[in-house]
Amino acid sequence: MGCDAMKYHTPVLLKEVINGLDECIGGEVTAPKIVVDATAGGMGHSSAIAKTLAKNGTLICIDRDIDAIANKDCVKGECKKIFVRDNYVNISNILRVEGIDKVDMIFADLGVSSHQIDDQTRGFSYTKDGPLDMRMDRDQKRDAYHVVNNYSIERLTKIISEYGEERYAKQIATAIVAARPVKTTSELSKIITDAVPKSYYKTGGHPAKRTFQAIRIEVNDELVNLEKFIRDSVECLKPNGRIMIITFHSLEDRIVKQIFKDLSLNCVCPPKTPKCICGHKRSLEILTKKPVLPTEDEIAGNPRAASAKLRMGVKI
């Protein structure tokens, strides 16, 4: 595997992430800062972060995809680098094992890496023919083939509707079950395309996009893990430490926005509660009232950045 991280994966909102890191460092260029890239992926963000940190700094790169960890030689820079193959939901335990109590910044890019999409053997793309896989951790048992060929119509409908926000979920689920066994991504893409009205392209992009997203989320438990990751990450930050998260669809962004809001409040009791009984104390100041979006120039150079949103908070 090559060592040019920017060719392996084009990192989105990179300038904004590094600016956030610079603000977190606060001009202390020689300070021994500890930064976690919780979704190292193609190592694009990790590479830039490593070059920004001082020699006595530490960068911890986490990813559950063995291909990502195998690409660790792409990460240059003089700081100490630690690579961990694990799920970001285990961040507290990962830091504990490494003997680290608190860190200065935690960053996560929740998108599928360019390499994962472009590698047709991974099964993430609805425009390339490949196996129904979609596993970010290929050691896990459940894959897209299992979801597509074993879930009931009701369960598929629920997943496609909720995780894909697809209005034709029932029709698509019914068509999938009728066509079983479905073996490849191209088969699945055609089944979905044939199940929706011909006018779909005019309003919703590729007909298979939302369903493939939904199945990928289900396979990898993406939304189930996100809330725990955010809450645990804030606990792992030093005072004035920063959390930065890039999302790519409304479901993720909604969760990040809501958890940030919850963590920024001194009380989370129901609105009509006469007196606070929750005992909740705010632990986060939100730095982005509205998410940071990619510039038109970035989108022109990397169309996959178009849906990216960056939210930031600082530990109180």
Give the pTM. Answer: 0.91
For residue 191 the two structure tokens come to 């089944």
| Domains of the chain with CATH codes | 5-109+222-315 (3.40.50.150), 120-220 (1.10.150.170)
Residue type, 175: A
User: Given this model, what pLDDT does residue 277 score?
Assistant: 83
> Digits of tens for pLDDT over the chain (316 positions)?
445 555 556 899 999 999 999 888 766 656 689 999 999 999 999 999 999 999 999 999 999 999 999 989 999 999 999 999 999 999 999 999 999 999 999 999 998 888 888 899 999 999 999 999 999 999 999 999 999 999 999 999 999 999 999 999 999 999 999 999 999 999 999 999 999 998 888 776 899 999 999 999 999 999 989 999 999 999 999 999 999 999 999 999 999 999 999 999 988 788 888 888 887 789 999 999 999 999 999 999 999 899 999 999 999 9
Paired strand residues for 85: 63
pLDDT at 149: 98
Q: At a CB cut-off of 8 Å and minimum separation 6, what does 221 contact? A: none
Beta strands 80-85; 103-109: pairing state: unpaired
201 contacts: CB under 8 Å, gap ≥ 6: 207
